[in-house]
């Protein structure tokens, strides 16, 4: 199973990126969020989800672990395929999509091409608890804190810290003060890690 591909970006457009690694060009489907993160990059490390079907072998790429996790949660819902999940991540930022699911915002989900009322309701029912819960403690984090938490966690992981230890530190900081901004969370976490 391919976890990530590091290499030279030989082609980039809003639908896919071609990454050359050891003389092989990998065509990787991406969302607009990942496209924006890769914009003007000469080389990249792109996280991968493989989709192996009877008629195709597809790679889906993500600039962050957070986006890939959300993609995998979306495709676990009956009726939501990889293409639909990618469309959702292209239409709605991952943090906003999480908030819509946790808040039960059917209208936002229905605003995505290919998502009807029943699919939107199924996504909310299946993922509301999974997305809202903090891994490990089972604690539900408020919506505004969840966005700051995810952005801070993503920043610390990009800086090279282990995801699990960074998550523990961030959660402790948010328990003490739920109104911390992303920059302050990262600053304080760097002192504690």
| Domain shared by 26 and 71, yes or no | no
* pLDDT attached to residue 49: 96
Q: Does the residue 188 lie in any domain?
A: yes
State pLDDT tens for residues 15-55: 999 999 999 999 999 999 899 899 888 999 999 999 988 99
| Domain shared by 96 and 125, yes or no | yes
Report whether pLDDT(58) > 60: yes
| Domain shared by 85 and 58, yes or no | no
* pLDDT attached to residue 70: 94
Please give the structure tokens belonging to residue 82. Answer: 């990889």
Please give the structure tokens belonging to residue 16. Answer: 């896919």
Q: Does the residue 137 lie in any domain?
A: no
| Domain shared by 97 and 72, yes or no | yes
Please choose, from the candidates 60, 117, 119, the residue with its C-alpha nearest in 3D space to the C-alpha of residue 90: 60
- Give the CATH number of the domain where residue 184 resides: 1.10.8.10
* pLDDT attached to residue 188: 86
| The domain boundary residue, chosen from 62, 80, 108 | 62
Q: Does the residue 31 lie in any domain?
A: yes
Q: Does the residue 186 lie in any domain?
A: yes
Q: Does the residue 90 lie in any domain?
A: yes
3-state per-residue secondary structure call for 115-153 = CCHHHHHHHHHHHHHHHHECCCCCCECCHHHHHHHHHHH
- Give the CATH number of the domain where residue 126 resides: 1.10.150.20
Q: Does the residue 110 lie in any domain?
A: yes
Answer for the pair 6, 45: CB distance below 8 angstroms, yes or no: yes
pTM over 0.75: no
| The domain boundary residue, chosen from 94, 111, 132 | 132
| The domain boundary residue, chosen from 24, 45, 62 | 62
Answer for the pair 125, 115: CB distance below 8 angstroms, yes or no: no
Burial of 184 (0-12, 13-18, 19+ CB in 10 A): middle
- The rounded distance, in Å, linking the Cα atoms of 57 and 1 is 12
Q: Does the residue 138 lie in any domain?
A: no
Confidence class for position 132, pLDDT limits 50, 70, 90 = low
Question: Which residues have CB under 8 Å from 4's CB, separation 6+?
Answer: 45, 46, 47, 48
Report whether pLDDT(176) > 90: no
Report whether pLDDT(135) > 50: no
* pLDDT attached to residue 146: 64
Q: What domain count does the chain have?
A: 3
* pLDDT attached to residue 8: 95
* pLDDT attached to residue 11: 93
| Domain shared by 15 and 43, yes or no | yes
Report whether pLDDT(144) > 50: no
Mean pLDDT of the chain: 85
Domain that holds residue 154: 143-192
Please choose, from the candidates 156, 192, 149, 137, the residue with its C-alpha nearest in 3D space to the C-alpha of residue 174: 149
State pLDDT tens for residues 66-97: 899 999 999 999 989 999 999 999 989 888 89
Burial of 32 (0-12, 13-18, 19+ CB in 10 A): middle
- Give the CATH number of the domain where residue 11 resides: 2.40.50.140
State pLDDT tens for residues 4-17: 999 999 999 989 99
| Domain shared by 55 and 77, yes or no | no
* pLDDT attached to residue 117: 92
Average pLDDT over residues 154-164: 79
């Amino acid at each position: 199973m391919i976890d990530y591909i590091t290499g030279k970006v030989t082609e980039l457009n809003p639908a896919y990126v071609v990454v050359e690694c050891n003389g092989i060009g990998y065509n990787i489907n991406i969302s607009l969020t990942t496209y924006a993160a890769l914009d003007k990059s000469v080389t990249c490390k792109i996280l991968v989800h493989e989709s192996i079907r009877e008629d195709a072998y597809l790679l889906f790429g993500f600039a962050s672990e957070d986006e890939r996790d959300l993609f995998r949660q979306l495709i676990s819902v009956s009726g939501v395929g990889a293409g639909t999940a990618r469309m959702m991540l292209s239409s709605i930022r991952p943090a906003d999509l999480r908030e819509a699911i946790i808040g039960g915002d059917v209208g936002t989900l229905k605003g995505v091409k290919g998502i009807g009322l029943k699919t939107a309701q199924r996504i909310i029912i299946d993922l509301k608890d999974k997305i809202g819960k903090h891994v490990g403690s089972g604690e539900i984090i408020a919506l505004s804190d969840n966005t700051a938490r995810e952005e801070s966690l993503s920043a610390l992981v990009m800086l090279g810290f282990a995801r699990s230890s960074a998550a523990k530190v961030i959660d402790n900081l948010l328990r003490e003060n739920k109104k911390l901004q992303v920059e302050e969370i990262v600053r304080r976490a760097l002192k504690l890690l």
